[in-house]
Chain A
């Protein structure tokens, strides 16, 4: 099967990468993936984040699905963790996910429009 050869190529390429990602190093992006998040549309958001990071080849960023943080009314919720700094976005859709990657992760500027404080204080 041809696609298995592709997988081997991916493996060889990955082995050549000098930087190995540690679990808690770099930037972590958490996506709420409980029933509330899923039904509000967290799955396409998470896929968009992963695809953009892969496409733009952004190093040291991991995307992880997590459970419910109890604010189901404002799902999908995306949290960006950079060391001690925590930024919580809510009502994230695919367009906002793209902005988070471009403006926050690449540009270093928080996307104000979807911060959790806009909805809850």
Chain B
């Protein structure tokens, strides 16, 4: 996977499978401390300690179609390759948190890529989930909260194509804006 947003999509699909109703994705870029942190928190059914200890092993999976699972282990590898750390915590019936930290300017840190495509696909899932997305770049921040969008929409589904296109443009513009303002 050559974009961090693909890892985010992969991890969030796990959250959806774990019956989460809210997924929080927080990206914190700090060019002064030289860190790039991706946090994903969900309120799904979580994992017990045994599963949690096995989850970063590529030879562990909960799926039944084949016996290897690459999602979490690939994300972990991506972080560690870029001079970073990877941490996953979980509580049964409370949820799971994944925190991956990268060196911001490390040559092996993949770019974020099109996070708007990732979020669009998450919104098109059959399970109705809410997404809170926060992107921080030093002192500027951008927030997208589907609970607020639903209030405006008044019953129109989030998966409506025009709504999806609006969300995608909003994210793209929002992130471009904070980067521009921060570069000033």
Contact = CB atoms under 8 A, between A and B. Distances in A.
Interface in B38-97: 63, 65-66, 69-71, 74
Interface residues of A, number: 34
Nearest to B149: A7
Given A33-B13, A43-B121, A72 B66 contact: yes
Interface string A30-53: 000111101100011011001101
Contact of B125 (A7, A43, A44, A64): A64
A121 interface: no
Contacts of A62: 159
A8 B153 CA distance: 7
A53 B152 CA distance: 24
Contact of A47 (B66, B69, B117, B156): B117
Contacts, number: 91
B162 A10 contact: yes
Contacts of A65: 13, 121, 124-125
Interface residues of B, number: 36
A71 B64 CA distance: 12
Contacts of A3: 166, 169-170, 173
A14 B163 CA distance: 9
Binding site of B, secondary structure by majority: helix, strand, loop or mixed? Answer: helix
Interface string B145-165: 000010011101001111111
A54 interface: yes
A4 B152 contact: yes
Interface in B166-183: 166, 169-170, 173
B175 to A, nearest CB: 14
Interface of B: 1, 6, 9-10, 13, 17, 63, 65-66, 69-71, 74, 117-118, 120-121, 124-126, 149, 152-154, 156, 159-166, 169-170, 173
The 7 closest A-B pairs by CB, nearest first: A70-B65, A54-B161, A35-B71, A10-B162, A14-B156, A35-B70, A11-B156
5 contacts: A7-B153, A10-B162, A15-B154, A23-B126, A39-B1
